[in-house]
Structure 1
Amino acid sequence: MTVFARVFSALALCRAVTGVSVDVSVSSTITDKLAILKPDSGCGVKGFDLTLTWEDHAPDGHARKMALINGQFPGPLMEIDEGDIVEVLVHNAMPFNTTLHFHGIEMEGTNWSDGVPGLTQRQILPGNSFLYQWKATQYGSYWYHAHERGQMDDGLLGPMIIRPKANRERPFSKIANNTEQLKAMLAAEKISRPIVLSDFRHVTSTDGWAIELAAGIETPCYDSVLINGKGRVDCWSAAKRKALVTPAQQTMLKLGNETLLTAKGCLSANIIGNVLADPSLPKNLSSVPPGIFDVCTPTSHELATVEVTRPKSSDAWEAFDIIGSFGLLTGMFAIDGHPLWVYAVDGSYIEPMQVDVIEVTNGVRYSVLVPISPVDGNYTIRFASDAAAQSIAGFANLVVRECDSNTTVPASVVTPFINDVGTNTTSEVVYFNQSAMRAFPPDEDVRNSPRAANRTVILGIRVAGASYNWALNNTIYPMHLDNDTPLLFQPAPTDENNNVTLTTYMDEWIDIVFQALSFPMPPHPIHKHGSKMWLLGSGQGIFNYSSVAEALEEIPESFNMETPPKRDTLATPPATTGPAWMVVRYHVTNPGAWFLHCHIQSHLMGGMAVAIQDGIDQWPKVPLYYQDYV
């Protein structure tokens, strides 16, 4: 096992030279074997010591083996300041290999700390430790999670917030009506709190994958929705399932000659296997245990509580970072009686947008300012799945009370913005609209990009050989990549005919077309490591163009070249009645081996990914520690 000394560390050196005391949980030896990084100012080194264990835990009242981080789920909040050097020492006390990925962190100059097994590092074996080291060149809301098989579904995840520098321009003056409100918003941002949304199954990811292999179908049916690690199994009555069935579900039920969702609110195995999947693919539906789709056993379990203390004589504002850490689900988020001012998306400021409801998909983050109700009460925080595969909802409590008050507050009596399938309850409810999102300050990079990119890559999305196998470029990505020689350590030859490895050169502009080739096909949340992507356009049908420049001549209304949304995770449009496409653009400025993949866990396990060798002409030199790690 690799040993990390804690004495002559970067932090110890910082204290010795400056006399500054730094409050962190761990530090590690910085030698010539590691990256030599410098914080922007002072002794900005933040260290985190994470021990991963495999234990019984019952976040929704049903106990199962799952991954805990320092004995908890979700893992501890990592609070970092922009410009800090970040050291994360991971001890793997689980019986499985693992890695840790920092979702949305671009890892400028430290590709070896991106956490993708076989791509940027060797796996952390049971009993071993591994040091991730990188610089916080960004600000905002992020999260960390396993990147080994389906371990994210087993609970290996946690929130991360990078506090922006004091001199970074904020968009809050566009919300505040006066100086006092502006001060309150700035103060709220400094102590913003995460709201981690996740889905939970009562089978481990390994057992769930084995069931899919045996049955020959996907099993997109979960047991509960958790908010900040807590929830309960809620079994809807037949009357409620019938009343809340969505139009998309109604169509699928009819095609399957069925009338009702299962007791867990799911489309049945029959519909998943015989209606939505290719009927020619081999299947064995009898191998699916009843508890996966059909049997719902309710639990009584405490819900998460977020406490808010409001001042007696002034406006109260709170800031929250909403994190979509789902393995599968997508859906609508709202807080009863409280509008949401969205001021940052995926860790970057935007022109503030006041909404009531936000659709949250896999991997995304929304930073919101919330004007707190002047009325004490217990207000419901709610998430309602809008995925056709399952109707399910989760809840938490926002407890508002006046400062110095210890009285028990009553349940609030307000009309929710949404029902349990995410549908608006009144016509006045406002949903977040991604197409109306504008960067703050304005994003000039994409405006100055060439009309025609240096290269255009068309990635065909399809099911490949079995309904649980997905291809992002017509080829299944080999999730068992050679751990002895990760791609970063030995890049693939550029002339190799390899559908799962793309190669670019520094300073190129790349357009990627994601083409759903078959239907019906759900949206796929596509995440790119190493850089954000601009969403240039989307549409229905086949993208019959060699470039965006060519498409602009024919269908200019399908594109936004002036103010496109910029994110690290973007969902493809659903292919409901025919094929569909989405075009993203990015600028190659961060050389290294990066992953591009669907963030639905079962789709990633099924091979829906490609590797990108960005900037092959300026390939990074990997520090000896990472090269030598075993």
Structure 2
Amino acid sequence: MGAASRNTGVWLLATLATLLTFALAKGGKNFAGSNGTRKFELTITWEVFAPDGFPREMALINGGFPGPTLDINQGDDVEVLIHNKMPYNTTMHFHGIEQYLTPWSDGVPGISQRQVLPGESFLYTWTATQYGAYWYHAHQAGQLDDGLYGAITIHPKKSQATPFSLISQDDETLKAIRRAVKDVRPLILGDWRHIPSPEVHNITEAANMELSCYDSVLFNGKGSVECWPPERIAAVLSDQQKDYLEQANLTSMTPKGCLPAAVVADVISSGVDTHADVVPPSVFDVCTASSGGKEVIAVTKTAEEPLKWVALDLVGSFGLLTVTFSIDSLSVWVYAVDGEFIIPQLVQAITVTNGDRYGILVPLAAAGDYPIRIASTIPAMIIAGTATLSYRTEDPNAPLAAPTPYINDAGSAVDGSVVFYSVDAQKQLEPLPIASTAAQSFPLYMRTVGASFEWALNSSQFPAAVIDWGTEPVILFHPQPYVQNNVTLTTLNDTWIDLVFITADAPMPPHPIHKHGNKMWRIGHGEGEFTWGSVNEAIAAIPGSFNLVDPPRRDGFVTEAATDAKTWTAVRYHVTNPGAWLLHCHIQSHLLGGMAVVIQDGVDHWPQAPPEYLNY
């Protein structure tokens, strides 16, 4: 279909939406629970920008980076109109948004839509059925690594139960907490590299190896390249990193704090024909210090406020890293995870990986400038950075606190008193019942299938051809009923499904697995072979390894790392949102390398896409 007719379909949809909004304002029937319509317009351009002080071509949204926060009330109808003025195709995914009854707005090329071509526009429409912290990002090629993302804040409806009385029952404290949550601030944590994603793709294919080295870490799009002396890097080397280096007859990480290209080529990619010599030295080795500024979260207490708290929504926008987050000298209450309230946990450190969102409350007492730290915990890199939480009271002469860190440069606790957030202990504030058995159980064997960047979620690489813009998206046409293969899973509506993520080989790193369309419960995990034919059988055999009463519920879980032995992680979900959804590892190189499957949920209640999407 030509660009002109595709644009006509988009603008027809926008016009119809405008007319509908007008009709509703005149007294027409509104959607149940809707507060109104929130409209956003995002213009995506490809320009030179320097988030960490190093200029490179990247994606900007409305001229800035990150993109503007989409501020929404629960129940709102949402319209996001994007204009693609980049020289590349693109799409936009709303991470964690369930897209209830609107799966064609999920933003995955080849699955829920055709790609948006240069010069074209596309209108995403959905209802904010949820509350909490989410984010939007490109789901095209490696454009997340090019800066195409921003935060989403959905304020809960007034009737929503909250966990704040579990933190304190003091009236003044509760007032301060509620003020803070009403004004919650997104804090997007990210990693950054100095070469655009198309160039990363070309170098990766030419070298036949993963480029597992980034240049800096960012807080809300700001950061610096820090070149540490070798002694500082050596002081926090892990045993695993030392082992990798020893196998390559090397003794140190690169000046950028990365495992050298020789380790990736000869150790991690052992047995594969690699060409590390084609990788430019700037990718792994050359470190040039630069500064793009520091993010400062300024908080000021007034005389009318007896107490001061600040609320932050942490968003993990990483392409590769998993980090430890901490604020020097300040304990924080984690009160929401992946957009849902939980029983609060008081901690000093949080592990944040790709796609995670954590709502935290920070009680403030003494004025001071408190470093906000993130530090990589993955073997591929030793890298860290800071932002600042700057707190001032109404007394300008108050002495400033001298904060001390809870974590070191490798994201480890400085001593045994530091408490980390526990996913195992996570309890939802309003737990939903979980079925005692599941109708289907899918074992998904995770492995590399060639080079170190070629990955499979279920033994087979997800075919790149599926996301070619000419491919008819799965959601727009009724799927072949009951198709089951290594890259397509099919379910029936109102059934319970088990997914078991099994490490096919050891060693294997943990994988942050994200499911589009709805949340999952992590009901069990363990070490060793998963020898049972289903999760139901495993529960009967080893009931102590499972929790069907109050397990953690999220839209993304990290699988168990396999160091010396294979591991498995089991999740269960309820099919209540029919459509075509992607299940994938959120590490960008793993997703681009094929670590994904499509789930055709509820094929017996397949939704009919509006004609304007069919005709786009």
TM-score, scaled relative to structure 1: 0.93
Per the alignment, residue 567 of structure 2 pairs with 580
- The secondary structure found in structure 2 opposite 1:581 is strand
- The secondary structure found in structure 1 opposite 2:310 is strand
Residue range with higher mean Cα deviation, 307-316 or 340-349: 307-316
Identify which of 409, 432, 445 aligns with 1:420: 409
Per the alignment, residue 201 of structure 1 pairs with 193
Per the alignment, residue 135 of structure 2 pairs with 143
- Which 4+ stretches in 1 moved above 4 angstroms? 5-20, 409-412
Displacement of 1:625 after TM fit? 0.6
What letter matches 2:421 in structure 1? F
1:304 and 2:330 aligned? no
Contact 1:378–1:410, Cα closer than 8 Å, also in 2: no
Between the aligned partners of 1:334 and 1:167, the Cα distance in structure 2 is 32
Between the aligned partners of 2:254 and 2:602, the Cα distance in structure 1 is 49
Contact 1:39–1:85, Cα closer than 8 Å, also in 2: no
- The secondary structure found in structure 2 opposite 1:180 is helix
What letter matches 1:500 in structure 2? V
What letter matches 2:83 in structure 1? H
Closer/same/farther in 2, CA of residues 89 and 403 from structure 1, 3 Å limit: farther
Per the alignment, residue 23 of structure 1 pairs with none
Displacement of 1:411 after TM fit? 7.2
Per the alignment, residue 483 of structure 1 pairs with 469
Between the aligned partners of 1:64 and 1:403, the Cα distance in structure 2 is 42
Structure 1 vs Structure 2: percent identity of aligned residues?
49
Any idea what the Cα deviations from partners look like across 1:264-315, whole Å, max 9, x if unmatched? 11111121122122x2211111111111111111113311111101234611
Per the alignment, residue 244 of structure 1 pairs with 236
Per the alignment, residue 375 of structure 1 pairs with 366
What letter matches 1:112 in structure 2? W
Between the aligned partners of 2:530 and 2:128, the Cα distance in structure 1 is 38
- The secondary structure found in structure 1 opposite 2:46 is strand
1:389 and 2:380 aligned? yes
Identify which of 450, 458, 483 aligns with 1:465: 450
Q: How many residues align?
A: 606
- The secondary structure found in structure 2 opposite 1:307 is strand
Any idea what the Cα deviations from partners look like across 1:415-436, whole Å, max 9, x if unmatched? 1111111111232111101100
Identify which of 284, 287, 293 aligns with 2:278: 287
Q: How does 1:49-128 map to 2 (within 5 A)?
A: 49-128=41-120
Per the alignment, residue 488 of structure 2 pairs with 501
Any idea what the Cα deviations from partners look like across 1:226-278, whole Å, max 9, x if unmatched? 0010000001111101111122212222222221111111111121122122x
- The secondary structure found in structure 1 opposite 2:290 is coil
Contact 2:509–2:561, Cα closer than 8 Å, also in 1: yes
Q: How does 1:220-619 map to 2 (within 5 A)?
A: 220-277=212-269, 279-312=270-303, 314-372=306-364, 374-403=365-394, 412-441=401-430, 443-446=431-434, 449-450=435-436, 452-481=437-466, 482-484=468-470, 485-494=472-481, 496=483, 498-619=485-606
Between the aligned partners of 1:420 and 1:137, the Cα distance in structure 2 is 40
Contact 2:12–2:612, Cα closer than 8 Å, also in 1: no
Displacement of 1:489 after TM fit? 1.8
Closer/same/farther in 2, CA of residues 104 and 41 from structure 1, 3 Å limit: closer
- The secondary structure found in structure 2 opposite 1:54 is strand
5+ residue gaps in structure 2? Answer: none
- The secondary structure found in structure 2 opposite 1:429 is coil
Identify which of 10, 15, 33 aligns with 1:40: 33
Between the aligned partners of 1:619 and 1:601, the Cα distance in structure 2 is 30
Contact 1:11–1:45, Cα closer than 8 Å, also in 2: no
Displacement of 1:169 after TM fit? 0.7
Any idea what the Cα deviations from partners look like across 1:59-90, whole Å, max 9, x if unmatched? 00000000000011110000000000000000
Closer/same/farther in 2, CA of residues 65 and 591 from structure 1, 3 Å limit: same
Closer/same/farther in 2, CA of residues 256 and 37 from structure 1, 3 Å limit: farther
What letter matches 1:100 in structure 2? M
Between the aligned partners of 2:598 and 2:12, the Cα distance in structure 1 is 34
- The secondary structure found in structure 2 opposite 1:462 is strand
Displacement of 1:144 after TM fit? 0.1
Residue range with higher mean Cα deviation, 523-532 or 414-423: 414-423
Displacement of 1:456 after TM fit? 0.6
Per the alignment, residue 27 of structure 1 pairs with none
Closer/same/farther in 2, CA of residues 6 and 130 from structure 1, 3 Å limit: closer
Between the aligned partners of 1:324 and 1:294, the Cα distance in structure 2 is 26
Between the aligned partners of 2:341 and 2:159, the Cα distance in structure 1 is 14
Displacement of 1:10 after TM fit? 5.0
Displacement of 1:209 after TM fit? 1.5
Aligned alpha-carbon RMSD (Å): 2.0
Residue range with higher mean Cα deviation, 178-187 or 198-207: 178-187
Closer/same/farther in 2, CA of residues 169 and 421 from structure 1, 3 Å limit: same
Closer/same/farther in 2, CA of residues 550 and 7 from structure 1, 3 Å limit: closer
Closer/same/farther in 2, CA of residues 40 and 553 from structure 1, 3 Å limit: closer
Contact 2:508–2:562, Cα closer than 8 Å, also in 1: yes
Displacement of 1:494 after TM fit? 3.3
Displacement of 1:622 after TM fit? 0.5
Displacement of 1:547 after TM fit? 1.5
Closer/same/farther in 2, CA of residues 506 and 7 from structure 1, 3 Å limit: closer
Between the aligned partners of 1:541 and 1:289, the Cα distance in structure 2 is 40
Between the aligned partners of 1:7 and 1:129, the Cα distance in structure 2 is 11
What letter matches 1:40 in structure 2? G
- The secondary structure found in structure 2 opposite 1:488 is helix
TM-score, scaled relative to structure 2: 0.95
Between the aligned partners of 1:619 and 1:16, the Cα distance in structure 2 is 29
What letter matches 1:483 in structure 2? W
Closer/same/farther in 2, CA of residues 602 and 41 from structure 1, 3 Å limit: closer
Displacement of 1:5 after TM fit? 7.3
Displacement of 1:6 after TM fit? 11
Residue range with higher mean Cα deviation, 466-475 or 148-157: 466-475
- The secondary structure found in structure 2 opposite 1:38 is coil
Between the aligned partners of 1:14 and 1:495, the Cα distance in structure 2 is 39
Contact 1:491–1:613, Cα closer than 8 Å, also in 2: no
Identify which of 181, 189, 194 aligns with 1:189: 181
Residue range with higher mean Cα deviation, 478-487 or 297-306: 478-487
Contact 1:345–1:366, Cα closer than 8 Å, also in 2: yes
Closer/same/farther in 2, CA of residues 379 and 122 from structure 1, 3 Å limit: same
